[in-house]
Structure 1
Amino acid sequence: MTPVLRAEQLSKRFGGLQAVQGVSFSVAPGEILAVIGPNGAGKTTLLNLLSGLYRPSAGRLFLGDRDVTSLSVEGRCRLGLGRAFQIVRPFPEMTVHENVTVGALFGTPGTRLHDARAQAWTLLERTGLIAHAEKAAHDLTLLQDKRLEVARALATRPRLLLLDEVMAGLRPTEAQEAVALVRSVRDSGVSVLFIEHIMPVVRDLADRVIVMDQGQVLAEGPYHDVTQDPRVVSAYLGTPLTEVT
């Protein structure tokens, strides 16, 4: 089965800083893949390489069978790569429904306004925002903002959704609601790659975990295996994780 995404030896250098070095991995259809590691490990730089915000210094990236290494952010989006950011920036004066409608119009060129609005209503229902559809985006709570960010990304009709610490700032109960939302995204047929520091979230969501350190892949595998790996314990965890609550 062809991976949804495949990275081959991706590297990124900023002057004398090697932020990402020789990173290779793939994301399977229907998979939820977590990327973890200490601050400065290169995780967000990697997501910027995947989404097209940065061009790699070396390496190649494929969406399905297509080489998208030199493709723009917009081009990757229209091939099925969506992204939700840690720091959400909706159009504050527009309504929640209008924000998601913009995503639907952007993601598929030629979409009629009527169809984009209808798609937005469906996504607001899926993401638990239907009651806030006519509310201005600047009036939302943090959890609602996070849901809106996911809804806007889903409106572009992605095959793979990138999530950059979307649980940051949420209370434990809110984080569990967000976990359920991400599961529902995968259940709808969208693969997910997410960065996260909250280990119970990683444990509950990830089918597979990649651990980065100093710009490189340190370990890869199921949650239990990587959290017991002595290299991961030394570089990131400090102690093996047997039970995380």
Structure 2
Amino acid sequence: MLRAEGLSKRFGGLNAVQDVSFTQYEGEILAVIGPNGAGKTTLLNLLSGVYRPSAGRLHLLGQDVTDAPIEHRCWLGLGRAFQIVRPFPEMTVHENVTVGALFGQRGMTLPTARERAYDLLERTGLAAHADKAAHELTLLQDKRLEVARALATQPQVLLLDEVMAGLRPAEAQEAVSLVRSVRDSGISVLFIEHIMPVVRDLADRVVVMDQGQVLAQGTYREVTGNPQVVAAYLGTEAELQA
């Protein structure tokens, strides 16, 4: 679904991302973890087209999209939900998702976009709030709205940037269930996360970044048993189990 080959991004003398390579497979939930400043969000910005790489290539669904603009990647099947949600606050929840459906794919008509938005509100547990203004939602509902807006673009690969941030444990488990349902619908998911129990429960494979580079790749068990990963990010075994 996604293949990064030696992706790098320099900002002046800073190598924010350096020679990052990985492959994401169809139907896979792939986690990207690492300490603050490891380059995780910069990597998502490279994948989604916010930044152009200083070096390397990126393939999406078999097509080279290294120099493709954001909207082309979206039309091809790449969606993204952001850590800091910014819905249109005075528009209703339904209208917010309709915007994603209307502009996420070419040739979408307004009636079809509205119908698709209602379907997604059902899937994401927001149907009862369809006519509320977006600014009236709770944080968990805001996160669900962000995912619904991204899903409205009809992605085949969905990028999630710390969508669990700020949620209470019970709310995080609800969000885990939502992400699983997204994958079960046939969408591959790549997500950034700091909450290790969430990574353990969700990820098929994990990419660990440190100082802009890939430190390790593998299953959750493999990477959490890697001494370099423990030293760079996870701390002691007792801290990891907590």
Q: Same fold (TM over 0.5)?
A: yes
**How far apart are 1:109 and its partner, in Å?**
1.3
User: What is the rounded CA distance, in whole Å, between the counterparts of 1:229 and 1:34 in structure 2?
Assistant: 16
User: What is the rounded CA distance, in whole Å, between the counterparts of 1:33 and 1:132 in structure 2?
Assistant: 31
Aligned match for 1:181, one of 174, 178, 182: 178
User: What is the rounded CA distance, in whole Å, between the counterparts of 2:212 and 2:106 in structure 1?
Assistant: 36
- Aligned structure 1 segments of 4 or more residues deviating by more than 2 angstroms: 240-245
Aligned match for 2:93, one of 88, 91, 96: 96
**Root-mean-square deviation (CA), in Å?**
1.1
User: What is the rounded CA distance, in whole Å, between the counterparts of 2:237 and 2:183 in structure 1?
Assistant: 29
TM-score, normalising length from structure 1? 0.97
Structure 2 contact 196–240 (Cα < 8 Å) conserved: no
- Percent identity, aligned pairs only? 78
Partner residue of 2:236?
239
Aligned match for 1:53, one of 50, 53, 65: 50
Task: Say which SS state the counterpart of residue 46 (structure 1) adopts.
Answer: helix
Query: Deviations along 1:126-168, whole A, 9 cap, x unmatched?
Result: 0000000000000000000000000000000000000000000
Which ranges of structure 1 fall in alignment gaps of 5 or more residues? none
Which ranges of structure 2 fall in alignment gaps of 5 or more residues? none
Residues 19/243 of structure 1: CA separation in 2 closer, same or farther (3 Å cut): closer
Are 2:222 and 1:225 equivalent residues in the alignment?
yes
Aligned match for 1:139, one of 136, 140, 155: 136
Partner residue of 1:129?
126
Partner residue of 1:203?
200
Structure 1 contact 228–240 (Cα < 8 Å) conserved: no
User: What is the rounded CA distance, in whole Å, between the counterparts of 1:26 and 1:117 in structure 2?
Assistant: 35
User: What is the rounded CA distance, in whole Å, between the counterparts of 2:45 and 2:170 in structure 1?
Assistant: 29
Are 2:77 and 1:65 equivalent residues in the alignment?
no
**How far apart are 1:244 and its partner, in Å?**
3.6
User: What is the rounded CA distance, in whole Å, between the counterparts of 1:92 and 1:126 in structure 2?
Assistant: 21
**How far apart are 1:110 and its partner, in Å?**
1.3
Aligned match for 1:39, one of 36, 40, 64: 36
Structure 2 contact 234–240 (Cα < 8 Å) conserved: no
Are 2:75 and 1:78 equivalent residues in the alignment?
yes
Partner residue of 1:115?
112
Partner residue of 1:18?
15
